[in-house]
Amino acid sequence: MINHHLDIHLIDPILKDEVEPFIGKIDQMLYYPGQFLKSVGRSGLLLSAKLPIKEVRQREVQLIEKTATYCMTSAFLLWCHLAALTAVRMSTNPYIKEELLPLLESGKVLGGTGLSNALKYYAGIGTIQLKAERTKGGYFITGSLPSVSNLGDGHWFTILASLDDQHRLLGILPAEAEGLRLEEKNGFVGMNGTRTFSCSFNNVFLPDKWILTEDPDDFIQQIRPSLVLYQIPLGLGVASASIDHLSEVRRENADYFEGLNVQPEDLGRMLQEIQRTTYDYSKLADLVAFNQKILLTRLEIIHLTSQAVHNDMLYSGGRAYLKDSDPFRRLRESYFLFNLTPTVKQLENLRQSMRLEKN
């Protein structure tokens, strides 16, 4: 009998065994922690059947946060998988619900998301990069996506494509689909173990059974708040690790910290406030009405994470000024959070437009 109320602490030994020993390789040597993702699935921590959505969401926010305290790359890959799962869980397509969903939740199949373009399009700041043409039994997809993460053999990922100005569709397809060309991207300042690829579609056949929805306008509106909410614990985890490390450094050098304006507990209080807000959101049955507030909380965690990692670098001394130090790794990881859609620029513009509307 499956226990649907699994202890979140089942993640702890998985992180200890399959993330912590490999953090240096993940960060410096393009190591992909796929076994970690599969083990999370095998543990049962991604099962959703017969569970209220808010309970699933709370658990998954916590999974991402815990993982990010160790390694944001691993946490982001978990986010990619959960972003794909979020879309799959909402689909009413029988094949996807009955065949693909159990494989994704068990970790037998891993998921990526090509929805950055979709989020930009629905935010009014981009056009859809993929075109769909109806054919017998499905659609042909053409176009390209500049960056899709968590891809590899046996992985599936979600895409948005347009038929014309009025009609769009959301689908999911395997990374080895015929006509799909993947070109790996690395050389980033961090997060190089994410298996990120540019994807070129040359008449890739998307059968009807792989269609998540042919009404993506409402579908994206429903899942978008969850996708953004799941990004916040990426920052919560990294900021928490930086604050904890800063506290250790202060214990060793208490006299030096007396005159500093920023103290670890000050950052800790701000972190706790964002944590409370984030978990309050995760407990809501319907997030759509809170979309803008979730976006603003996402902006708050960007700024707090920036403060935490920079202060950790500033006050950890010479040990932080080593290429393989944890403070420097977290600093580089934090810049990814700033540029993950929705980016800090997009969020700052949203906040400014909301201020203007109030006035």
Closest alpha carbon to 323 in 188, 185, 186, 189:
189
| Domain at 231-358, CATH class | mainly alpha
Closest alpha carbon to 194 in 301, 336, 83:
336
9-23: average pLDDT: 97
Q: Who contacts 127 (Cβ-Cβ below 8 Å, separation ≥6)? A: 121
Query: What percentage of the chain reaches a pLDDT higher than 90?
Result: 86
Question: Do the domains 112-215 and 8-109 match in fold?
Answer: no
H or E element, residue 157 = strand 156-162
Confidence of residue 156 (pLDDT cuts 50, 70, 90): very high
pLDDT of residue 359: 63
State the Cα–Cα distance between residues 241 and 331, nearest whole angstrom.
11
Taking 70 as the threshold, does the pLDDT of residue 7 lie above it? Answer: yes
Which pair of tokens denotes residue 54? 């808010």
Taking 90 as the threshold, does the pLDDT of residue 326 lie above it? Answer: yes
Taking 80 as the threshold, does the pLDDT of residue 356 lie above it? Answer: no
State the Cα–Cα distance between residues 149 and 71, nearest whole angstrom.
16
pLDDT of residue 3: 40
Confidence of residue 152 (pLDDT cuts 50, 70, 90): very high
Closest alpha carbon to 113 in 228, 215, 19, 237:
228
pTM of the shown model: 0.95
Task: Answer whether 167's CB lies under 8 Å from 134's CB.
Answer: no
pLDDT of residue 123: 87
Region for 291 from its dihedrals, namely left if φ exceeds 0, alpha if ψ lies in -120 to 50, beta otherwise: alpha
Using one digit for the tens of pLDDT, what is the confidence trace for 215-235? 999 999 999 999 999 999 999
121-125: average pLDDT: 89
Taking 60 as the threshold, does the pLDDT of residue 4 lie above it? Answer: no
Average pLDDT, the chain: 94
Q: DSSP code of 149?
A: B
pLDDT of residue 28: 93
State the Cα–Cα distance between residues 105 and 29, nearest whole angstrom.
28
52-69: average pLDDT: 96
Using one digit for the tens of pLDDT, what is the confidence trace for 235-256? 999 999 999 999 999 888 887 7
Confidence of residue 357 (pLDDT cuts 50, 70, 90): confident
Q: Can you tell me which residue has the tokens 């869980």?
A: 89
Q: Can you tell me which residue has the tokens 């614990």?
A: 233
- Report the relative pairing of strands 111-113 and 156-162 from DSSP bridges: parallel
The residue extents of the domains of the chain are 8-109, 112-215, 231-358
pLDDT of residue 1: 26
Q: Can you tell me which residue has the tokens 């009955």?
A: 98
Alpha carbon separation from 89 to 212, 301, 337 (Å, rounded): 9, 27, 25
Confidence of residue 335 (pLDDT cuts 50, 70, 90): very high
Q: Which CATH number fits domain 112-215: 2.40.110.10, 3.40.50.620, 1.10.600.10, 3.50.50.60?
A: 2.40.110.10
Taking 90 as the threshold, does the pLDDT of residue 5 lie above it? Answer: no
4-23: average pLDDT: 89
Confidence of residue 6 (pLDDT cuts 50, 70, 90): low
Confidence of residue 150 (pLDDT cuts 50, 70, 90): very high
pLDDT of residue 48: 95
Give me the CATH code for the 8-109 domain, please.
Answer: 1.10.540.10
